[in-house]
Amino acid sequence: MNDKKTIETSISHRERILGGLWGSLVGDALGVPVEFKDRATVQADLVTGMRGFGTHNQPPGTWSDDGALTLCTVDSLLNSEFDPQDMGNRFVRWMNDGLWTATGSVFDIGMATTDALMRIASGTSAEQAGGCDEYSNGNGSLMRILPVVLRFANDPVDRFVGRIDRVSSITHGHARSKMACVFHGWVVRHLLQGWKPQPALQAARVGFTERYERTPEFPRFQRVLADDLATLSEKKVASTGYVLSTLHASHWCLLTTASFEECVLKAVNLGGDADTTGCVAGGLAGVHYGLSAIPEEWRKTLLRHNDVESLFNRFADMAPPIT
């Protein structure tokens, strides 16, 4: 498939990588003030831009755990080619010392992530640290997986999937969480090549189905694999902290909107786990629409803007050209 209906070539690979990274951070920061608020409450006072305070009483432009762990992952990939132990160690430094936080403090952390990082801190190897039980399927690895996807999108599928699995396992080792990260990564892999959202999703569905259809967790993914994802009404789209809810909601937001702004605001205004839905949807929309589609004012409002810009530019510089 390489006709104009499927592929958009006017956005450079670098613009897509930077768009994904900035889009994640912006989406997270837009959602932080309304995290945990129910949908009706959020929709009575819609988020339309960067706000401060609210749920966590943080200044405008503050990212949360989603953004900080994404930044730690980018930093790790700049320091070693691929080292999950190094990533895990950086995550521990985030939890204990505030590494890559916006303000120096950690104001939000998931339970599965806390448990896993305490294990790493006491000597468990990072790839063995994530919980593997069915109740450890929050969105805590999906929200931080994007840099690994962007860095290794050119790899053969087996290695691409293997690396995503290993990085999910640092905090989330259950097959459902790992498969959600892989599904998301598979869509992003195609968006990076310029595929439009619907064909990118379709290609991901085909590859994902071939790989997993005989595994026990596969039936859980029916919803994201079904043709009608784009036509679901909002009330059928949950926005909790469950990994499959975040996966559905973020891809639904990309499919049902026509700009970066519209996509990420729709995600945040679903309420619930607003920052994480915003972060994952912002990553998708940033890769699809590119860096220049992200309102500059939103990027400039992010705290530590210069530190983030320098980190992201270094990451984009080393990313291999897409083949």
How crowded is the C-beta side of 304, counted as CA atoms within 13 Å?
A: 19
> Burial level of 231, CB count in 10 A (0-12/13-18/19+)?
exposed
Pick between residue 165 and residue 275 the one whose CB is nearest to Mg ion.
275
Shortest distance in whole angstroms from residue 203 CB to Mg ion: 30
Cα–Cα dist 224/186, whole Å: 13
Residue showing the smallest CB distance to Mg ion in the complex? 64
Shortest distance in whole angstroms from residue 73 CB to Mg ion: 15
Shortest distance in whole angstroms from residue 23 CB to Mg ion: 15
Using the rule CB under 5 A, which residue among 24, 64, 101, 171 binds Mg ion? 64
Pick between residue 139 and residue 193 the one whose CB is nearest to Mg ion.
139
Using the rule CB under 5 A, which residue among 15, 65, 75, 165 binds Mg ion? 65
Using the rule CB under 5 A, which residue among 20, 47, 66, 270 binds Mg ion? 66
* Nearest Cα to Cα of residue 39 among 260, 273, 232, 252: 273
75 contributes a contact to Mg ion by CB under 5 A: no
With beta carbons less than 8 A apart as the criterion, state whether 101 and 181 touch: no
Shortest distance in whole angstroms from residue 65 CB to Mg ion: 4
> Burial level of 120, CB count in 10 A (0-12/13-18/19+)?
buried
Please count the residues of this chain forming the interface with Mg ion, following the rule CB under 5 A.
5
241 contributes a contact to Mg ion by CB under 5 A: no
Cα–Cα dist 117/278, whole Å: 24
Would you call 44 helix, strand, or coil by DSSP? coil
Identify which range of 62-70, 184-192, 201-209, 222-230 contacts Mg ion by CB under 5 A: 62-70
Pick between residue 65 and residue 261 the one whose CB is nearest to Mg ion.
65
Side chain identity at 123, as an amino acid letter? Answer: G
| Cα separation of the two ends of the chain | 15
Identify which range of 160-168, 200-208, 257-265, 272-280 contacts Mg ion by CB under 5 A: 272-280
DSSP-assigned letters across all residues of 57-113: TB-TT---HHHHHHHHHHHHHHHSSS-HHHHHHHHHHHHHH-TT-SSS------HHH
Count the neighbouring beta carbons within 10 Å of the beta carbon of residue 269: 23
Show the site string, 106-125: x = touches Mg ion by CB under 5 A, - = not.
--x-----------------
177 contributes a contact to Mg ion by CB under 5 A: no
Shortest distance in whole angstroms from residue 66 CB to Mg ion: 4
Pick between residue 146 and residue 229 the one whose CB is nearest to Mg ion.
146
Residues 6+ apart with CB under 8 A from 277: 27, 31, 239, 246, 249, 250, 253, 267, 268, 270
Residue the block writes with tokens 């930077």: 18
Cα–Cα dist 167/161, whole Å: 10
Shortest distance in whole angstroms from residue 56 CB to Mg ion: 9
Pick between residue 175 and residue 284 the one whose CB is nearest to Mg ion.
284
140 contributes a contact to Mg ion by CB under 5 A: no
Pick between residue 75 and residue 275 the one whose CB is nearest to Mg ion.
275
Pick between residue 144 and residue 248 the one whose CB is nearest to Mg ion.
144
Pick between residue 30 and residue 201 the one whose CB is nearest to Mg ion.
30
275 contributes a contact to Mg ion by CB under 5 A: yes
User: Which residues in this chain contact Mg ion in the complex, by CB under 5 A?
Assistant: 64-66, 108, 275
